[in-house]
Structure formats: C-alpha cells, structure tokens
Amino acid sequence: MVDALAGFDYRIDLPPLPATPADGSLIKQGAELAREAETMIGRSPRGVTARALAEQWEQTFGLVAAAVELPDGLDGLSWDSGDFRLILVARTHLWTRQRFTLAHELGHILAGDAVERPLAEHVTPSTDQALAEVRANAFAAELLMPRSELLETVTAHARLDKQALLSLSWEYLVSPSAMATRLHALEIISDDERRQWSACTTRMAALHTGDPGPHMQYAQQADDGWYSTRLAKLAISAYVHGDISIRLVATVTGMDPDQLLDLFHPGPDTLDDGPHGTSATSPAELAFSP
C-alpha cells in the first residue's frame, strides 16, 4: 500500500530519529531514549488510548501503525525498511497490553533494532529477556509512565497502598502489574509489595474508578483493531485528487468500498468506484480521523 501510493507521489515523510544512547546499561539507554522521544512528541501519554498514541507517533516519527489480526502468540511487529517505518500490534481485548506493545515496538524502531528485517515478537513487560528486549521494555515503561511525572503524581497520594496503585494504573492507562513493576524499579515500593499488587487486574482498576464503562470501550476498540490514520489520509487525498480508485482506500481502512462511496458521494449516484473530484477538505476526509 505504501509503495502503491508512493508510485503516485503520495509519500510519508521520514523525519530524523533521535540517536540511541551508547553509554550506561540497556535500561538506562531505553529510559534516555524515551525521554528524547517525549521531547519530540511534546505531550504526555497519560490517559491517551493506544489508537490516539499511534496517531501522535505516526506524525512525530513518520510511522505507519495499525492494530490488525496477527498469528497466535504474536503481540507486535516492527520494521524500518528505510522507505517506511511500520508498527503492527495484535487485536486483543487486553487493551493495556496492546498499548504497552505499541510503545515497546516504538522503542525497537527508535533504537534501530528492526532495520535489517521485520522484528515480530511476543512482548512481556519483564527484564528477563534478550538485550534488545530489555531496552525496549525500559523505553516503554519510561514513555508510558514518565519518571518525573509519575513521582509528582505519587506524592499527591497520602498513602501508597493497593488502592492507590489501582488509581495510578487507571490514570496512566497501564495494567496494575506494569505500574507495580514501574514503582518498584523507581524504588518507591518494595519487591514484596510489587509481587502482591501485581495480582491486581485492569478490570479491578476500572471498577475502582466507579465507572467501568471506558474499560469496556477501550477493550472493544483494541479487539476491533484500527487502521493507520496517516496511511488512510494519504489514500483519501490520492482518491479525491483522482489518482486512485476507492478500492485502495478500502484496503487501507478495511471498510467496504460501497460504504466508502456512500460517504464520499451520498445520494443515488454512487455506483462508479472511480474518483469524482471531491474536495480534499470535504467531510468525507474528516470521517477517517480516530
């Protein structure tokens, strides 16, 4: 799809990536790389869903990112071919896992781990992994739960107990296990507390807020999957300028071509699947924003 659009001169710009730190442990390298990424992104990830994060990161780093059906046991895939930067995450109702995987794969892209070939993997947020995985996990933890921001948030809690952990995990949209691991890594809680609190679930965190509705919405969106907004907008632009048919837009978005034609050309005259000169700023184009 990227190649097809590039053939009509619709290309995704590839901005320079931050340099991977060479000094210190892999955990320190991952954290430092995440802080550089935070500066480039310019906004906090706290409370932002996986799809919205993907849209931000597509703009910042020139990515194509989507949640799609992947083979069993495969959580994510990353690849920097030199012509495009790709991140795929698996469709799953475990939305906090999908969000962590998205950040983990971004860590691989920025560290240059996925340059020679696509890197497909089962992601686990522990440090008992291969060297590149240690760095990618440290990157994801720092990016999703920034040290300085998290320390400030923690001080707002009079007492750091299991209930506070549930509140923190929901506020940062990570699993209680990931939050407990992060708090232990920052030497805020003991290893015993980490082990005990890691048994908590995201559902428990959602119930703790008193409004579990968003938990179900996030799970549904993660399980349904989502397409690359950046790639979709390129395809839509190519269509409305008459360069491609509606079928490539359908391929990018996963939508039915006839439904797309109804969006672009409401009314009885929607049988032709070719472009009709719709304005590039029409409401149809805006319909593809997450």
What is this structure's pTM?
A: 0.89
Within 10 A of 1 (CB to CB), how many other CB atoms are there? 15
Helix runs in 186-245, H state only: 191-197, 202-209, 213-224, 229-240
What was the pLDDT predicted at 267?
67
Q: Answer yes or no: is pLDDT of 127 > 50.
A: no
Domain(s) labelled CATH 1.10.10.2910 in the chain stretch across 2-144
Q: Answer yes or no: is pLDDT of 163 > 60.
A: yes
Find the angle CA(193)-CA(195)-CA(198) to the nearest 5 degrees: 100
The residue to which tokens 């360069």 are assigned: 243
CA distances from 19 to 81, 84, 116, 145, 279 (A): 18, 18, 17, 21, 40
What was the pLDDT predicted at 269?
52
Q: What is the mean pLDDT of residues 120-145?
A: 83
Q: How far apart are CA 100 and CA 102, in angstroms?
A: 5
Q: How far apart are CA 58 and CA 229, in angstroms?
A: 8
Q: How far apart are CA 168 and CA 158, in angstroms?
A: 13
Q: Nearest 5°: phi and psi at 26?
A: -65, -35
Per cent of the chain over pLDDT 70 is 90
Q: What is the phi-psi region of residue 251: left when phi exceeds 0, alpha when psi lies from -120 to 50, beta otherwise?
A: alpha
> Quick one: tokens of 53?
């994060």
Q: Answer yes or no: is pLDDT of 273 > 80.
A: no
Q: Answer yes or no: is pLDDT of 107 > 60.
A: yes
- Please report which confidence band the pLDDT of residue 113 belongs to, taking 50, 70 and 90 as the band edges: very high
CB-based contact 91:140 (threshold 8 Å): no
- The pLDDT tens digits of the residues spanning 14-51 come to 999 999 898 889 999 999 999 999 999 999 999 999 99
Q: Pairing between strand 63-68 and 85-90?
A: parallel
What was the pLDDT predicted at 129?
52
- Please report which confidence band the pLDDT of residue 121 belongs to, taking 50, 70 and 90 as the band edges: confident
What is the CATH T-level fold of the domain 2-144, as seen in this structure?
A: Arc Repressor Mutant, subunit A (1.10.10)
- The pLDDT tens digits of the residues spanning 212-240 come to 999 999 999 999 999 999 999 999 999 99
What was the pLDDT predicted at 268?
58
- Please report which confidence band the pLDDT of residue 280 belongs to, taking 50, 70 and 90 as the band edges: very low
> Quick one: tokens of 35?
């802080």
Query: What contacts 254, CB < 8 A, 6 or more positions away?
Result: 225, 227
Q: What is the mean pLDDT of residues 269-283?
A: 44
DSSP 112-170: TTTSSS-EEE---SSS-S-HHHHHHHHHHHHHHS-HHHHHHHHHT-SS-SHHHHHHHHH
More confident residue, 129 or 109: 109
Q: What is the mean pLDDT of residues 186-202?
A: 95
Within 10 A of 269 (CB to CB), how many other CB atoms are there? 9
CA distances from 152 to 145, 168, 170, 236 (A): 11, 12, 16, 43
Q: How far apart are CA 220 and CA 79, in angstroms?
A: 27
CA distances from 229 to 53, 58, 60, 142, 289 (A): 11, 8, 13, 25, 6
Q: What is the mean pLDDT of residues 101-130?
A: 84
Q: Answer yes or no: is pLDDT of 246 > 50.
A: yes
- The pLDDT tens digits of the residues spanning 73-83 come to 999 999 999 98
Q: Answer yes or no: is pLDDT of 283 > 60.
A: no
Q: How far apart are CA 230 and CA 233, in angstroms?
A: 5
- Please report which confidence band the pLDDT of residue 67 belongs to, taking 50, 70 and 90 as the band edges: very high
Query: What contacts 33, CB < 8 A, 6 or more positions away?
Result: 18, 20, 21, 107, 110, 111, 135, 139
Q: Answer yes or no: is pLDDT of 12 > 70.
A: yes
